[in-house]
Amino acid sequence: MTAAADKDRRRDCLLRFPEVRRRTSLASSTVYRRMDEGTFPRCKKLSVRAVYWYESDIEEFIADPLGYRAP
């Protein structure tokens, strides 16, 4: 797994929370619990009330949801 700082994010799409939930089929509480545990990609703050995830991080999680560990 490549460290987040080493990833080239120039072509990476930003996904908002509803899209992340749709792609992963996880409930909101599960997403936040797994982020706290380090088993789901961390979100980035877009504004006071909006967060996003990089699409490549979510795809990496979807490829191996049980083995995913945040860098």
- Segment 21-68, tens digit of pLDDT: 999 999 999 999 999 999 999 999 999 999 999 999 999 999 999 999
SS3 50: strand
pLDDT at 1: 46
Q: What is the pTM of this model?
A: 0.85
pLDDT at 51: 96
- Segment 2-11, tens digit of pLDDT: 555 567 888 9
Report domain extents, the chain. 16-63
Find residue 50's DSSP bridge partners.
47
Closest residue by Cα to residue 65 from 47, 6, 3, 37: 37
Instruction: Indicate the burial class of 22 (C-beta count within 10 angstroms; 0-12, 13-18, 19 or more).
Output: exposed
